[in-house]
Amino acid sequence: MGNCSGHDFSIPPGKGPHHVGCTDLMVGHTVEGTFFRLYYPCQLSERSENPDWVPTKEYFNGLADFMKINRRLSERIFNYLFGSCKIPATWNAAFKPNTKHPVVIFSHGLGAFRTLYSAICVELASQGFIVASVEHRDESASATFYFKEKSTPEALKTGEPEFPLRNKQVKQRADECIRALDILFTVNSGNMVENVLKTPFDWSTLENSMDLCRIAVMGHSFGGATVIECLCKEVRFKCGIALDTWMFPLDEVIFPQVKQPIFFINSEKFQWAGNIFRMKKLDSATIPRKMITIRGAVHQSFPDFTFLTGNCLGKIFKLQGNVDPHLAMDLSNRASLAFLQRHLSLERDFNQWDQLIDGKDNHLIPGTNITLNQIKDLENSLYIDF
């Protein structure tokens, strides 16, 4: 896999004690069904296969359409850069049934899909979590697939206000995350689910494997907004981690209904006053609400793209910031693990990173780097994701 720096790049493997497996589950043939990539602690196997990072060329085409570039040209570029890239997890590996695992539901950003945050999901699984990375069917993914035709996708018309569409999408996204959680409850209880993809993974091995009193929701950008919507709608989520959240899709009327702890992890280069102002509206005197900012990080420091392009293309396409991408990801993941231990009451050693929750590191800013002045104008300050 080449790029303009002439070196090979890859998604970092998990740093935890567990080997990681992954598989796909699709329940239902239509767009109303559920589709996610599951990451989990697995048994070590002599014969192993790592799945492609981008599942099929249709996802490349979707990315091209989302970026408004020519499909034929982009397919060559994407194949050259990413065509041989693999996810550092064993495809359909046997589950490792040794204890009950906490659960994380992950929501991707606008224009992304279920595999683009594998560095985060693999790290969580290597640390003992079962992670379901949902592929959203609200037209916010760059591509997805299902088995029946549907009606013409909704799209913004010129001059049409954006909020009604985005708010409808974030509600659908939350419903999709909750449906994924419902399916995990079904699997954990030992009941059968029909996977229309017919993968060889044995879902019955997950019976009684999940600690369903310890569930979190996590997401990036539009997925961060989905985290807030999920916390409002579903009390089974005990806490949420919102990565560089795009707050615009949310109706502020739901904010008082969110009773769970929230951790905002932001990049230094993406956020702006109006967006931070809306995050601060979720502050509470009684419910833990934390915020840190990663110095030198950009919005794309959270998806896997940041590892796969090198400094040259990374800077041109704003996929990398001024901080080493591995360092930025480690800070985000370790702070997340510490937060999850604290609010899911886990008996792990993630509290060794407790100081990161408060931004106590040379590469972190406690709270935000954004100055919140000119309050009247803040709520009208918008920014479009990606």
Please give the positions annotated as active site.
221, 244, 299
Strand runs labelled E in 28-162: 34-42, 90-91, 101-107, 130-134
Measured CA to CA, the distance from residue 65 to residue 242 in angstroms comes to 26
CA distances in angstroms from 329 to 7, 14, 60, 243, 332, listed in the order given = 20, 11, 24, 11, 5
Backbone angles phi, psi at 42, to 5 degrees: -130, 165
Q: Looking at the chain, list the stretches that DSSP marks H as alpha helix, in order from N- to C-terminal side.
A: 57-67, 71-82, 118-126, 163-188, 222-233, 273-280, 310-316, 325-344, 354-357, 375-378
**Four-point Cα dihedral 61, 243, 101, 191, nearest 10:** -50
- How many other C-beta atoms are found inside a 10 Å radius of the C-beta of residue 324? 14
Dihedral angle sign, alpha carbons of residues 30, 212, 351, 124: negative
